[in-house]
Amino acid sequence: KPDEAKIKAAMAKLPEADRSAAAAQRYCPMMDTVRLGAMGAPLKVVIEGKPVFVCCAGCKDEAVEHGKETLATVEKLKKATAAIAKLPAADQVLAEAQLFCPIQDGSRLGSMGMPVKLMLEGKPVFLCCKGCEDAARKNTKTTLAKVEEIKKANATPAHHDDHQHGAAPKKN
């Protein structure tokens, strides 16, 4: 679970206009399960005239190098963030802990509009769309196991092959 106080303090270090843009993006486009602010104040890069925020210096070069893909990812992140924001506050927290649909692998919650909430065996489960509901209900135990697997993966500390977040970037 992200440290909300730490994230809020890191985001507060940004100028107000950047804070709004970073809040709309919410996640790093290079490490899309890492909340902006979780690694300190997000870094701003400008790609094709558009502001993009990354979680750390280690993500900056990759974001610029893959500019078009980065911009496309940022748009998807903004769309998903806006859709999740339509959920009641308590459900937003739960959906963010899950982040992905247990039925459609890799389908980010919010990518197809407001996530669908089900209660399976008394536990909340979020789906990317209504189309996944029958499959989720048909295989309740599998669905619940997948949700736990997703949550565990999202809670794992972030890293890249070539750097640890929070560490100084490598010198060439």
- Position 171 confidence tier, pLDDT thresholds 50, 70, 90: very low
Answer whether residue 138 is part of any domain. yes
- What is the per-residue pLDDT across 94-137, written as a single tens digit (0 to 9) for each? 999 999 999 999 899 999 999 999 999 999 999 999 999 999 99
Residue with tokens 């558009």: 50
Question: What pLDDT is attached to residue 162?
Answer: 52
- What is the per-residue pLDDT across 2-57, written as a single tens digit (0 to 9) for each? 688 999 999 999 999 999 999 999 999 999 899 999 999 999 999 999 999 999 99
Question: What pLDDT is attached to residue 154?
Answer: 82
Element (H, E) at 45: strand 43-47
Number of domains in the chain: 2
Answer whether residue 169 is part of any domain. no
Cα distance between residue 30 and residue 137, in whole Å: 33
Answer whether residue 48 is part of any domain. yes
77 and 118 assigned to the same domain: no
**DSSP-derived secondary structure for 110-169:** TBTBSPEEEEETTEEEEESSGGGHHHHHHTHHHHHHHHHHHHHHHHSPPB-SS-BTTSPP
61 and 129 assigned to the same domain: no
Question: What pLDDT is attached to residue 156?
Answer: 64
Answer whether residue 33 is part of any domain. yes
Helix-strand-coil percent breakdown of the chain, rounded to 5?
Answer: 45, 15, 35
Q: Is the pLDDT of residue 155 over 90?
A: no
Answer whether residue 45 is part of any domain. yes
110 and 74 assigned to the same domain: no
- What is the per-residue pLDDT across 60-90, written as a single tens digit (0 to 9) for each? 999 999 999 999 999 999 999 999 999 999 9
14 and 77 assigned to the same domain: yes
Give the DSSP letter of residue 170.
P
- Position 165 confidence tier, pLDDT thresholds 50, 70, 90: very low
Give the domain extent around 28.
4-81
DSSP-derived 3-state class of residue 8:
helix
CB 28 within 8 A of CB 52: no
